[in-house]
Amino acid sequence: MSTGSNSRVPDLEILAAKIRRNTLDICMQRGGYAGQGVALADIAACLYFDELRTDGKGWFHDRFVLSNGHDAIMTYAALAEHGSYTLEELRTYNADGTKIDQSPIEGQLGFEITAGSLGQGPSQAAGIAWAERQRGTDKRIYCLFSDGELQEGNVWEAAMFAAHQKLSNLVYIIDNNDLQASGATTNVMSVEPVPEKFEAFGFFARRVDGNSVTEVLDAFEEAKSVAGKPYVMVCDTRIFVGIDCLREALPMAHYVAQNAADWEAGLAEIDAKVAALTGEA
């Protein structure tokens, strides 16, 4: 799936818009982590449709570890475009008896670990990267976690291990949106400067605009050229970016209840953007 070329940018921007739409469609049934799914759509498009290599059997050769369960909505929305889930299945998100959990467990399609116990993903991803190297494979391991998780000590234990082991097959992706359940991360307990902290642990670190397909692609390409160090992308993202009516109405929404958003207005706005991007407007 990886081309290493920015000629893919227009196609990926269309996919990101569709992932945003899928996120709203899923969350409007019972509410959910809509803002994060929308904000992470550009990263999801680049990750699933350009960066992760195919295994030739309909799945991926490389491995992706989601640490923060509330960002599972990103994976669900992206895998709907991949064809691994139908929207009908995903519309049962958070319903009684559903398999489409808000914070998925290990074995759910698309999820390597049980997500939601914050701070666990970086450690498990580092262990997977070390194991794949021991096995002699060329698999690359990607792990998404949130800026709030940087308040967990085991994240830094994982960073120390990964750098010591020189895990150049490991890429950390930080959703740096300055928001956690109890408020702005900068107010609860600031984690900045994030890149400099990881550099001190021995990572190659880069801060990017997580809502720019071009910058995300460039960072993924750079990560493959870094030898002897793990790589961390500190992705500055913005809740509900790309859907202005919801971003303005819900600027600090960690979780959105079903009746708290004008979902139809959001769908109409993103539908217009998809039509403009595809030339159907």
- Write out pLDDT tens, residues 45-95: 999 999 999 999 999 999 999 999 999 999 999 999 999 999 999 999 999
Check residue 128 and give its pLDDT.
Answer: 98
On the question of pLDDT at 5 being above 80, the answer is no
Which residues are CB-contacts of 240 (< 8 A; sequence separation ≥ 6)?
34, 35, 38, 39, 246, 247, 250, 251, 253
On the question of pLDDT at 276 being above 50, the answer is yes
Coil, strand or helix at 146: strand
Write down the CATH number for the domain with range 7-278.
3.40.50.970
Nearest-angstrom CA–CA distance, 107 and 125: 15
Name the average pLDDT for the chain: 95
Nearest-angstrom CA–CA distance, 85 and 73: 12
On the question of pLDDT at 43 being above 80, the answer is yes
Q: What is the average per-residue pLDDT within 4-13? A: 84
On the question of pLDDT at 4 being above 90, the answer is no
Q: Where are the domains of the chain?
A: 7-278
- Write out pLDDT tens, residues 82-140: 999 999 999 999 999 999 999 999 999 999 999 888 899 999 999 999 999 999 999 99
User: pTM to 2 decimals?
Assistant: 0.96
- Write out pLDDT tens, residues 142-160: 999 999 999 999 999 999 9
Residue 110's φ and ψ, nearest 5 degrees, are: 100, -5
On the question of pLDDT at 2 being above 60, the answer is no
Nearest-angstrom CA–CA distance, 71 and 39: 10
Distances (CA, A) of 26 to 90, 144, 260: 6, 21, 15
